[in-house]
């Protein structure tokens, strides 16, 4: 039996039993646990943080290759850690250590520093100077503001202004001549009549008075006769003593 087998007993003694605390917890396990404690799914986190669910999953899996722009990884990781209630700086350091993202950043910064610290040797400086001198020969000469100014434009502008002025003056003189009013004296001067009442010079006498009263009475009778209402025609009624047959 295996119980009495010496090889089985040696293997059993060599392997140590592990408890639940002996397993190493990764950053993704901690983040998933915190997210499960909050009861949030990846879509819930996407709606609240405005970060794609694929980026959230990449942060939990410590996969920096899933991001389109590596410069935004630090902001995404710290925002997600703050959302879960975890320390952002510690979470970002652990993310860099597990994914190797920090090594990429340091290598890029070192390469930039090397580029900045490049010094020119005398032999290289002379070559650069000759290249700069050769490039300046093919550059177009600098032009001033007066080079773009054409003297012929002045003559054409003056001619145009003179033409417009002459046309305007001619039109104004014609309109002024048309609207001019001339007053000429009349050949026959009008005669003013001083005596306008033909009856004013008549001497009033008894005969004139009687004729005037007669004419006035006649005029009144004629007017009364003219405007008097006409009498209605009344039918003639005849009395009958006998029955109508």
Fold of 27-115: 434 Repressor (Amino-terminal Domain) (1.10.260)
Separation between Cα atoms, residue 173 and residue 111, nearest integer Å: 84
pLDDT tens per residue across span 203-237: 556 666 666 666 777 777 777 777 777 777 777 77
The conformation of residue 22, written as its DSSP 8-state character, comes to S
The domain segmentation of the chain, as residue ranges, is: 27-115
pTM attached to this predicted model: 0.38
pLDDT tens per residue across span 73-106: 888 999 999 999 999 999 898 888 888 886 455 5
Please indicate whether residue 180 or residue 145 has the higher confidence score (pLDDT).
180
Structure tokens at 62: 């410590």
Separation between Cα atoms, residue 63 and residue 81, nearest integer Å: 16
Task: Give the residue carrying structure tokens 């920096």.
Answer: 64
pLDDT tens per residue across span 7-23: 555 454 545 666 656 66
pLDDT at residue 134 greater than cutoff 60: no
Separation between Cα atoms, residue 79 and residue 85, nearest integer Å: 10
């Amino acid at each position: 039996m295996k119980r009495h087998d010496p090889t089985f007993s040696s293997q059993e003694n060599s392997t140590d039993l592990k408890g639940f605390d002996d397993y190493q917890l990764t950053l993704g396990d901690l983040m998933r646990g915190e997210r499960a404690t909050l009861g949030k799914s990846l879509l819930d986190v996407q709606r609240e943080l405005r970060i794609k669910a694929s980026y959230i999953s990449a942060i939990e899996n410590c996969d920096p290759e899933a991001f389109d722009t590596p410069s935004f990884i630090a902001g995404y990781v710290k925002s997600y850690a703050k959302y879960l209630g975890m320390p952002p700086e510690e979470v970002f350091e652990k993310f860099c250590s597990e994914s190797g993202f920090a090594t990429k950043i340091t290598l890029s910064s070192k390469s930039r520093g090397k580029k900045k610290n490049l010094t020119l040797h005398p032999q290289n400086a002379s070559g650069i100077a000759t290249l700069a001198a050769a490039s300046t020969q093919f550059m177009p000469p600098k032009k001033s503001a007066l080079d773009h100014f054409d003297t012929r434009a002045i003559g054409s502008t003056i001619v145009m202004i003179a033409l417009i002025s002459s046309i305007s003056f001619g039109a104004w003189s014609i309109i002024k001549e048309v609207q001019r009013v001339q007053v000429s004296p009349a050949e026959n001067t009008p005669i003013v009549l001083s005596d306008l009442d033909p009856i004013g010079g008549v001497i009033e006498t008894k005969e004139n008075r009687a004729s005037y009263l007669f004419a006035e009475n006649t005029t009144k009778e004629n007017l009364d006769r003219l405007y008097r209402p006409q009498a209605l025609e009344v039918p003639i009624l005849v009395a009958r003593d006998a029955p109508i047959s």
